Amino acid sequence: MKPQSLFDKLWARHVAVEETRESPAVLYIDLHLIHEVTSPQAFSVLDERSLPVRRPDLTIATLDHSTPTLPPDENGELPYATPEARRQVETLIENCERHGIELLGLGDPRRGIVHVIGPELGLTQPGKTIVCGDSHTSTHGAFGALAFGIGTTEVGHVLATQCVLQRKPKSMRVVFDGALAPGVGAKDMALAMIAEIGADGGQGYAVEFAGPAVEALSMEGRMTLCNMSIEAGARFGMVAPDEKTLAWVRGRDFAPEGDAWERAVDDWMSLPTEEGAAFDKQVRVDAAAIRPMITYGVSPDAAAPVDGAAPRPQTPVARHAADYMKFEAEKAFSAMPVDRVFIGSCTNSRLADLREAAAVMRGRKVKSGLTALVAPGSEAVKRAAEEEGLDKVFLDAGAEWREPGCSMCIAMNGDKGEPGELVVSTSNRNFIGRQGKGVRTVLASPATAAASAIEGRIADPRPYLDAAEGSA
């Protein structure tokens, strides 16, 4: 047999019906994650057809997008942004109760952002197919899983059949050669890669990330990298499982135990791409050349080193983006004042991300007049951060320490910027209106966001990280 890639192996294992010219393949799904935003319509279709959920035991629900990150008021009521947000939450609770689906609901110590709690609980495992009505489901590919976002109609299909229709994409391998410089992380790798291949450079491809710099990343870093693969147009982002993967999964709530663990490990370690496996496209990135990155436009591919300057627009689309963002061509990014900073989202709200931001903020103050909001990715992340005193670091610096949730990433729960504000955000999308009407979004790493909060302008985090390392 010819050598196989990780993607080829995962695809072959899960095809229930082969693809033809007339119809897509039918893929079996091992884990279906749902939340309050994309599931109501899907459940309504099931109700209209009197269909049960096919495998409630393979379906897990959480509340994250519309849930407030502010605590309850004096009457114990959560401050929902809109009546619709409350209805979304209440509807998911009702649907899970009727269909016997486990819900990590309000008050559940395991609740959190869907792409944080999956890996955190050990639900995410190598070799699985994982879907969710959320485009950043590619996050779970960091574990050697075939994970991808699906639309509302497809959510209904999976609820009813535990399968989904899918055409097999082409394959791409992105190799990060060399080692990252100090102060550079996974978010910078992702933005550098997207800037190189474009927002549609991965369209039609399943992307496997490889190379020394990827192998050196923590699991949190790999999740960030795979999370952002969708921003290059890819449906899937993956990293082959290794000893770091096993160390993360071992002992978690839903991880196999005893003999089942040993069998699982044997299977998982057979998944990595074999020597000589063919890819439709290969991209190589010099990891050593990457510097801390930010975005300056209204798409994640409009990214450049933080110590650089905005380029002169060359197309009508670029000129429109420049007019909206108000970045002056060839003027240093560091001259741009910042109104608000957001540290959170399924991209960068894990404990490692909060530690990175805290290393910059420790002993310093957020610039007067600037609002900095920190939202942990889950109840477990919040507890762990508070045990380490990270909440105190943020509060002492003048930042807000919130409850877990998607928060400002998509601005559905009341956490948003004001028209005209420039927000430095650790989230994944800088589209117009993503963080509030008229808001200008700059994507960055947790360290860069924290440094920008301290200086009140777009700032390079490396001097702060060097100082933190020197005092350690």
- Tens digit of pLDDT for each residue in 169-213? 999 999 999 999 999 999 999 999 999 999 999 999 999 999 999
* Cβ–Cβ under 8 Å, residues 118 and 33: yes
Which of residues 264, 290, 316 is at a domain's end? 290
Report the alpha-carbon angle 320-371-73, nearest 5: 120
Residue 260 has pLDDT above 60, yes or no: yes
Average pLDDT over residues 133-155: 97
Q: List pLDDT tens digits, range 342-400.
A: 999 999 999 999 999 999 999 999 999 999 999 999 999 999 999 999 999 999 999 99
Residues 461 and 449 in one domain: yes
Coil, strand or helix at 297: coil
Residues 320 and 399 in one domain: yes
Residues 239 and 134 in one domain: yes
Q: How far apart are the C-alpha atoms of 48 and 55, rounded to whole Å?
A: 19
Residues 195 and 321 in one domain: no
Q: How far apart are the C-alpha atoms of 180 and 216, rounded to whole Å?
A: 9
**Where would I find the H helices in 362-436?**
379-388, 390-397
Q: List pLDDT tens digits, range 284-326.
A: 999 999 999 999 999 999 999 999 999 999 999 999 999 999 9
Q: How far apart are the C-alpha atoms of 384 and 368, rounded to whole Å?
A: 29
Q: Pull the structure tokens for residue 318.
A: 């670029």
Least confident of 72-81, 239-248, 395-404: 72-81
Residues 139-154, buried b or exposed e (16+ Cβ, 10 A)?
bbbbbbbbbbbbeeeb
* Cβ–Cβ under 8 Å, residues 148 and 229: no
Residues 145 and 114 in one domain: yes
Q: How far apart are the C-alpha atoms of 81 and 67, rounded to whole Å?
A: 9
Average pLDDT over residues 56-69: 98
- Residue numbers of the domain that contains 178: 1-290
Q: List pLDDT tens digits, range 96-143.
A: 999 999 999 999 999 999 999 999 999 999 999 999 999 999 999 999
Q: How far apart are the C-alpha atoms of 353 and 425, rounded to whole Å?
A: 13
Residue 379 φ then ψ, to 5° = -60, -40
Average pLDDT over residues 433-441: 97
Coil, strand or helix at 419: coil
The pLDDT, as a whole number, for residue 471 is: 59
Coil, strand or helix at 411: coil
To the question of pTM greater than 0.95 for the whole model, the response is: yes
Residue 240 φ then ψ, to 5° = -65, 140
Residues 16 and 129 in one domain: yes
Residues 302 and 385 in one domain: yes
Residues 282 and 402 in one domain: no
Domain total of the chain? 2
- Mean pLDDT for the chain overall: 97
Average pLDDT over residues 58-73: 96
Q: Pull the structure tokens for residue 448.
A: 């860069």
Q: Pull the structure tokens for residue 115.
A: 């792409």
Residues 337 and 324 in one domain: yes
CATH of residue 144's domain is 3.30.499.10
First to last CA, the chain: 52
| pLDDT category of residue 1 using cuts at 50, 70 and 90 | confident
Average pLDDT over residues 324-334: 96
Residue 466 has pLDDT above 90, yes or no: no
Residues 278 and 314 in one domain: no
Q: How far apart are the C-alpha atoms of 257 and 460, rounded to whole Å?
A: 45
Beta-bridge mates of residue 305 = 293
Which of residues 245, 267, 290 is at a domain's end? 290
Q: How far apart are the C-alpha atoms of 254 and 244, rounded to whole Å?
A: 18
Residues 304 and 349 in one domain: yes
Residues 196 and 304 in one domain: no
| pLDDT category of residue 470 using cuts at 50, 70 and 90 | low
Coil, strand or helix at 80: coil
Question: What percent of the chain lies above the pLDDT cut of 90?
Answer: 97
Residue 56 has pLDDT above 70, yes or no: yes
Which of residues 290, 317, 338 is at a domain's end? 290
Strand 25-28 relative to strand 15-17, pairing: antiparallel
Query: Closest by alpha carbon to 429, among 281, 257, 232?
Result: 232
Q: List pLDDT tens digits, range 14-32.
A: 999 999 999 999 999 999 9
Q: For 29-114, list the strands marked E by DSSP.
A: 31-34, 59-62, 102-104
| pLDDT category of residue 472 using cuts at 50, 70 and 90 | low
